[in-house]
Structure formats: C-alpha cells, structure tokens
Amino acid sequence: MSGNGREAVAVLGGGCFWCLEAVYRGLRGVTEVVSGYAGGTHPNPTYRLVCRGRTGHAEVVRVTFDPAVISYRTLLGIFFTIHDPTTRDRQGADVGPQYRSIILYADEAERREAEAMIREIEAEGLYAKPVVTELAPLGAFHAAEPEHDDYFRRNPWQPYCQAVIAPKVGKARERFRDHYAEGAAGGP
C-alpha cells in the first residue's frame, strides 16, 4: 500500500466526487478525503474542462487512511456498494467519461486486491451485467477547486444532494455501520 508509515491512500472514481467524498467522510481510520481529478492527460484539469469530457480525467476522491483501522478491501467494498460498476461512463443521470468507474492503484498489492474483488463480485453474480470498472496505475492527482470540498455537508438541501448523494450515504452507513465513527459528519 502506498503511504508514509501508517497511512495509505486509495484513489477511486465512481460518478460524481461529491457522492464519494460524502460516503468516505466519517469512516473510522479515514484521515482525509479530497475530491479531485485523475486518470487523464491534461496537465491542469479544472472542473469546467473535466465536465466537457475531453481531458481524460475522472472525478475521483483521494482517501487517506490508516490500514490498521480500516482496510483497503473495506474501502473497495464500500466503493462497489455505492455505485454501479457495470455502466461505462455513467452513473445515473451523470453521463460522460469523467463519471466512469475507476480504481487508480498505487502499487501491485492494490491492483491485485481490486482484481480479486472484481472477480468475487462477478462470481457471486451481484450484477446482471459484467463489471466495467477500469483499473489503472495512479499517475498525477489534481485536487478539485475549493468549492467542491465537503459539498454534501455544506449543501444538504440542494436537490442533487437529496436525490443522489443522501441515498448513497445512507446505504453505505447501513451496510458498513461498524466502520463509521459515532456522530460522524459525512452529511446532514
């Protein structure tokens, strides 16, 4: 795992980064969640450029965590619970390559763990269609603009937050309740 001693990093994209950020905040062992862009070629991606779908970047979150408290496997389990990994370049009404399902691995251990989880999901028949989650080595990560930080917590009554983000947060907190800190502030 990547990291500096105790901390490791996972970079995941599964639709809008506002959703992923809200879900991963408040998990025990997660010390930081940063929305951003990765997996593309533009040297200085911005929200506007990425939304046009021409930079090659996906909206992602960089999750910094303590693997002694929460495992990379658990983070992947949450990832595969909160989005549809069978739709290419789309999550619900969010359409375009920036919304693709992607795991950007920092090392071979992360790649192998992600591949193993995808094999398990497909063997269990959890989805009617094949998993299309892209696995790619992590290159540059570009933090998103500050207005995207903690979006769900700051805008809980915004219609997108209520219709799209809140159900994902609820699903993750229900299925992985033992991993969330009591009173965690992931959302409203």
pLDDT in tens, the chain (188 residues): 444 458 999 999 999 999 999 999 999 999 999 999 999 999 999 999 999 988 999 999 999 999 999 999 999 999 999 999 999 999 988 899 999 999 999 999 999 999 999 999 999 988 899 999 999 999 999 999 999 999 999 999 999 999 999 999 999 999 999 999 875 544 54
Catalytic residue among 16, 19, 51, 161: 16
Q: SS3 of 51, please?
A: helix
Residue 69 buriedness (CB in 10 A; 0-12 / 13-18 / 19+)? middle
Cβ–Cβ under 8 Å, residues 35 and 21? yes
What type of residue sits at position 53? G
Q: Is 19 a catalytic residue?
A: no
Question: Hunting for tokens 């790649």 — which residue is that?
Answer: 111
pLDDT at 140: 94
Q: What's the gap between Cα 116 and its chain centre?
A: 18
